[in-house]
Chains A and B, each alone.
Chain A
Amino acid sequence: MIYFDNSATTKPFEEVMTAYQKAATQFFANPSSLHYLGSDAERLLMRTRQAVAEQLRIETEEVIFTSGGTESNNLAIKGIAFQHQTRGKHLITSSVEHPSVLEVFKELEQNGFEVSYASVDHSGKVDPEEIKSLIRKDTILISIMSVNNELGTIQPLEEIGDIAGMYPKVLFHADHVQGIGKVPLSLKKAKVDLCSISGHKIHGLKGTGILYVRKGVLLSPLFHGGGHEANRRSGTENLPGMVAFAKALRMIKEKEKKQLNELIHLRHHLINQLNVMEQVIVNSPLSGAPHIINVSVPGIKPEVMIHALAKKNIFVSAKSACSSKQPDVSSVLKACNLKESVTKSAIRISLSYSNTIEEADLFLKEFNSAIRYLEKGR
């Protein structure tokens, strides 16, 4: 099996599963319970939070555990919008954000907020100058992803952060779900106020993730109840999930430290070879994230290509998994002003640290023969 769909989700690390199971069986008690089983669980919870904070070089109270990227994005955007709506009701994002960001903004537009969507160039990149020009007196939030989930384009977060930093009332949210563990982001340097991270994209488990909220930033919660996570996310803590997240984060950070160059090399190898194929157009910028390659084979429906490759036990995606069931063209590629033949035929190859050059070569071979075969039916 060649699994090249790691931006959709990743296979959990063995160590993550073991940690989850151990935490779920040995520390099942509610961390809020007063007896010592509860206090053991609470100690583990505190230590887990500390481990996550250490990995991200932030403070423990800046970590809110959530159920994943979608919740983190919702909590960040709605949380800031509702908390600070008296300051202003204008928000800024880009036209290539993940649906868990874009749909939230659409919802807010229904509720009296005004949203400006920054455009992107043909590689999917936003222009910090445009962001700057969109800022108004009543702007309260800028939300930009670190890495585009379809193209792998890396957004200039440090520059945007510098701009946001000049406006004390404008908070800056970064959706770092695709970037974590592959594209280094210094939260301090990029002056990020809120940052979403998901567990299942880094070989952790579904239903786990965090939102970083810089100390001093207030946000209104989505969930009300027992006041967990310092009143910002009520609900009995998913302690084993948090443990699994911390473990996955530690492991991906280690791999990033040791294997990032290998991954970059693997991607370059694939891009070079794909560029040689005359039917193939590489949509991702060469300088993009080291794990995402978006290509188009004009004339061949992505769905058909995916099934053809799956027959050979090779797994890739069309667009992002979250929107691939909708039949229309990729809205991200459309926003990049690419031709319709390209936007209608895009395929996403997404890598992990465990993929090899051998797998890449086998993929290229099968991809090539699939194109030849499918071209006949064009």
Chain B
Amino acid sequence: MQFDLILIRYGEMAIKGKNRNYFERKLQNHLIKKLEPFKGTRVKKSRDRMYVVLNGEDPHAVMKECQEVFGIHSLSFAVKVEKEETEIKKASLYAFQDAHNAKTFKVSSKRADKSFSIRSQDLNHKVGGYVLANTDGVTVNVHEPDVELKIEVRNDAAYITAQDYPGAGGLPVGTTGKSLLLLSGGIDSPVSGYLTMKRGVQLEAIHFHSPPYTSDRSKQKVLDLASELAKYGQTINVHIVPFTALQQKIHQEIPEGYGMTVMRRMMMRVSEQIARKREILSLTTGESLGQVASQTMESMNAINDVTNYPVIRPLVAMDKLDIIEISRKIKTYPISKLPYEDCCTIFVPKAPKTKPTRENANYYESNVDFEKELTEAIEQTEMVEVRARQKTTGEFDDLL
């Protein structure tokens, strides 16, 4: 016996009105794309939910993939069997045993096909008895069961589902527009990207690279982070900005205490230009209030001064520990922790201003002509298409 289907229940999008179809289509497309490596699977839409037909593919592997798709509230495996008592019993036991730690259960039968001779109540009893007889230490609890065994007798067959698996929640990626994520190699920005994607946003990313001060490894690290994020949506375009010349000039020309502030302002300027070019309407950053010198209220004010694009800051009010927890969950943490220099850790002033002002920043910048370096950085920006990890790492597949 094995699972035949995965049932998918929608999250928030179930309450959408006329454009629900649009959300559903997006979700279906994501699922189809995500399940590409599982050749046998088919993703079907029914009235108020979706399901994946497994056709013999590994149920748990497919489940794991589906759990990374936004827009899904919960999922369950389903077994499809003949409408026959013994078959239904066996399938119910099988489905129940998938929930390893379940100690209590209840059975809820529904009979859409009224020609099926056993009434729902009786079926509940029979199946419940069978499960009890074939398990150890398991009891029935109709009020708060660990697992609800649901049996639906339909016209074509009987369907049995047991444990609910949590979905990723949120809205299908791409349903709420595009944003440009400022992606460093740190812990925060990938988490910020993840949370933005969860709200249905399709991401592109921008990274500032300063060779030879920062190495190819730190660039690869950022691509790896993007690849982890790409699991939740589609390909992520990463714009790699050559930042050395600008950083050197800032270092030489701007008073040390304002170096960091001006550098951040340059990043915002470049990001806005790239966003404009790519028809992206907002920027996303991993800023969290009070974490470092660039994230004080004064710094944010001085840095935000150079752009009037909306800046999405999902982490602004989150604690570091909560951010780390998410980064572990989405597997970006171990990559973020790799110890390579990035553009924010070089040319660091000994004492960066924690309370810079717009006026001073504007004044210092007005004495220097950054035009040439800015234009060159934008022109020489390279775009890398990053796919989800399993797919990008094809480079060593012949070896492994």
Query: A: which residues have CB within 8 A of B?
Result: 19, 22-23, 34, 36, 39, 42-44, 47-48, 50-51, 57, 60-61, 188-189, 243, 246-247, 250
Contacts and interface: CB of A to CB of B under 8 A. Distances in A.
B399 A36 contact: no
Nearest to B218: A39
A189 B334 contact: no
Closest 7 pairs (CB-CB, A-B): A51-B400, A39-B217, A246-B400, A19-B399, A47-B396, A47-B393, A243-B399
A243 B399 CA distance: 7
Contacts of A23: 399
Contacts of B277: none
Interface in B75-113: 100
A188 B64 CA distance: 15
Given A39-B216, A50-B393, A250 B400 contact: yes
Nearest to B64: A57
B215 interface: yes
Contact of A247 (B100, B217, B399): B399
B215 A247 contact: no
B362 interface: no
Contacts of B393: 47, 50
B220 A47 contact: no
B216 A247 contact: no
A247 B397 CA distance: 10
B386 to A, nearest CB: 14
Secondary structure of the B contact surface, majority rule: helix
B137 to A, nearest CB: 10
A334 B319 CA distance: 62
A36 B216 contact: yes
Contacts of B217: 34, 36, 39, 42
Interface of B: 60, 100, 215-217, 220, 334, 393, 395-396, 398-400
Contacts of A60: 334
A43 B220 contact: yes
A19 B398 CA distance: 8
Contacts of B215: 34, 36, 39
Contacts of B60: 57
Nearest to A38: B217
A246 B217 CA distance: 24
Given A36-B216, A39-B217, A61-B334, A189 B100 contact: yes
A101 B381 CA distance: 57
A217 to B, nearest CB: 17
Contacts of A250: 400
Given A51-B400, A188-B100, 10 more contacts: A36-B215, A39-B215, A39-B216, A42-B217, A43-B396, A50-B393, A61-B334, A246-B400, A247-B399, A250-B400
A44 B216 CA distance: 15
Nearest to A42: B217
19 contacts: A19-B398, A19-B400, A23-B399, A34-B215, A39-B215, A39-B220, A42-B217, A43-B220, A43-B396, A44-B396, A47-B395, A48-B396, A48-B399, A50-B393, A60-B334, A189-B100, A246-B400, A247-B400, A250-B400
Contacts of A34: 215, 217
A22 B399 contact: yes
Contacts of B334: 60-61
Given A34-B215, A61-B334, A48 B400 contact: yes
Contacts of B220: 39, 43
Contacts of A50: 393
A51 to B, nearest CB: 4
B220 to A, nearest CB: 7
Nearest to A189: B100
Nearest to A44: B396
Contacts of B216: 36, 39
A51 B396 CA distance: 10
A57 B395 CA distance: 22
A73 B207 CA distance: 45
Contacts of A247: 399-400
A86 B215 CA distance: 45
A243 B60 CA distance: 26
Nearest to B334: A61
A6 to B, nearest CB: 23
Contacts of A39: 215-217, 220
Contacts of A51: 400
A50 B396 CA distance: 12
Contacts of A246: 400
Q: Which of A39, A42, A51, A188 has the most CB of B within 10 A?
A: A39
A50 B395 CA distance: 14
Nearest to A240: B399
A51 B217 CA distance: 21
A61 B328 CA distance: 12
A43 B219 CA distance: 13
Nearest to B392: A47
Contact of B400 (A47, A61, A189): A47
Contacts of A42: 217
A19 B400 CA distance: 7
A203 to B, nearest CB: 15
A242 to B, nearest CB: 10
A21 to B, nearest CB: 10
A60 B399 CA distance: 18
A223 B334 CA distance: 23
Contacts of B395: 47
Contacts of B100: 188-189
A39 B215 CA distance: 10
B394 to A, nearest CB: 10
A243 B400 CA distance: 6
A48 B400 CA distance: 7
A282 B334 CA distance: 51
B228 to A, nearest CB: 12
Contacts of B400: 19, 47-48, 51, 243, 246-247, 250
Nearest to A51: B400
A302 B349 CA distance: 77
Contacts of B398: 19, 22
Contacts of A36: 215-217
